[in-house]
Amino acid sequence: MGNEPRYDILSYISSHDTSLFPRGQLRHGLSALLLAPGGVQLFYGDESARPPGAAPVGDEQQATRSDMNWNSIDGATLAHARKLGQFRLRHHALARGEHRLINDKPYAFARVIDGDAVIAVPEAQGALELKVHGVFADGTRLRDAYADQTYTVKDGAVAVNAAGTVLLEKATP
């Protein structure tokens, strides 16, 4: 690591130069973006499901420049973006940490760096058992920041009840 070049990536799902991310898939897109390594950028309205505007023939990109949807904000999409964004703000491991696969289906991963560790399951519903050994020790109290539930690690695993997304962090006393 000593002399290797360092670079950062800035990711986004929508841009005024391209197109708006498909509005019917925003929860998935926001999860992928806000749980991604490196820097992330939200284009205005992605967090609220702002619809595309009118575009003149031959310049479809102008549809990305519609007015902000202040009077028709999608509350569920905004709540999802806020939970993900606040979790990302608290945990530099998401941007900089080592990626560790926890589970294939549903997809679950950990990111760990310098004393900060998180586990995320972007799209999950119902009861799950997640193997967390090597990330969190037995007896550790964890908080699902998405559902605001607490769990305790036992035998290298934690049993959670997923409410669409799981965002595990150490619980504060």
Let me know if residue 1 belongs to a domain. no
Q: Are 99 and 111 in contact (CB under 8 A)?
A: yes
Q: Could you report the per-residue pLDDT of 64-121, keeping only the tens digit for each?
A: 989 999 999 999 999 999 999 999 999 999 999 999 999 999 999 999 999 999 999 9
Query: Is the confidence at residue 55, as pLDDT, over 90?
Result: no
Query: Is the confidence at residue 40, as pLDDT, over 80?
Result: yes
- Tally of domains in the chain: 2
Q: Are 97 and 116 in contact (CB under 8 A)?
A: yes
End residue of a domain, out of 56, 90, 124: 90
End residue of a domain, out of 55, 72, 90: 90
* Average pLDDT of the chain to the nearest whole number: 94
pLDDT at 2: 63
Same domain, 14 and 85: yes
Query: Is the confidence at residue 22, as pLDDT, over 90?
Result: yes
Domain containing 148 equals 98-170
12-44: buried (b, 16+ CB within 10 Å) or exposed (e) per residue? Answer: bbbeeeeebbebeebbebbbbbbbbbeebeebe
